[in-house]
Copies of this chain bind each other. A is one copy, B any other.
């Protein structure tokens, strides 16, 4: 694993890159994908033709059955295959929003999702996240303020389960409260549900989409974290009218479903019963990494606060008041460790005491070494 121009991964040789929120290449299922792709191409020409606008039914029907096991079963008319959650969010921006529209986002939230929204020239209006997730009362307040100004937000973008960057999950009472607010305000909720299957303690909370009975929620799922990001395949479960508009839109009428070739390979991967054992393997691997990173923080940087996340990729660390994590970053890199400074997940410059560590890329031993290097950086910064 090194620097290359084939993938997005560019690791600096002397640095433990705890900023990188990507799967460990050693955990990518190369052999199984090779078997699945060979089987798919032996079976016929279909992976090479324009894909069905909603995605291949073979993939959709397997996903529907899988979702039914832990949530509720979506009908095929409530589902669509996407080109991953980033592309799905991009499609939704075009469908639901116009430049200048307000969009509600969490503070903090996934930095590149914020950038996708900004690229569509949307006005980001923030709602705070605390240790129980997004604060519904604050959503209510913001909606009232916007209403008084005569505007209505295009949608709320939220990551309620194993949140990026904080790792927290929205509590069940808050989920219900948020859905009630969405229903009474006719607010679309875009639920980025990227980490649901990477659960290490207990089980994942029910998705907003599962709990929704007002057709407010568009839920985005993806194979990026549980299979392979390179396939660029995800799915959406959403109200019929959203699916209908996406299926009949110019983008899909012209080009068919996104990532069709890879979507067919993923369908074959699932049909070969390789998906569940692979997820189990990932959970076991990442769980050990999470535990070690959390323990190392407790052991080596006891003055920093963090919650051990129940799932996902990230530990969100709060440093004592005297540190600024943007200023600390070059010192940390000198000491051989990197992270993402907290400010990048906020729109307005706050978050400077926070940093995001990812435990997905490294072995437990390397994670402990990374924390040791962060300890060194903190000592050198000498606050």
Contacts and interface: CB of A to CB of B under 8 A. Distances in A.
A48 to B, nearest CB: 4
A6 B46 contact: yes
A116 B265 CA distance: 28
Interface stretch (A127-135, A200-208, A248-256, A334-342): A248-256
Interface residues on A, range: 35 or more
7 contacts: A7-B256, A28-B45, A33-B48, A48-B230, A83-B87, A86-B250, A115-B249
Contacts of A38: 34, 37-38
A379 B58 CA distance: 44
A145 to B, nearest CB: 25
Interface stretch (A49-57, A154-162, A296-304): A49-57
A249 B87 CA distance: 12
Interface of A: 4-9, 22-23, 25-26, 28-30, 33-34, 37-38, 41-42, 44-53, 56-58, 83-87, 90, 93-95, 98-99, 110, 112-121, 224, 228-232, 249-251, 253-262, 264-265
B251 A7 contact: no
Contacts of A83: 83, 87, 232, 255, 258-259
A194 B94 CA distance: 24
B6 A253 contact: no
Contact of A254 (B93, B112, B254, B262): B112
Given A28-B45, A37-B37, A258 B87 contact: yes
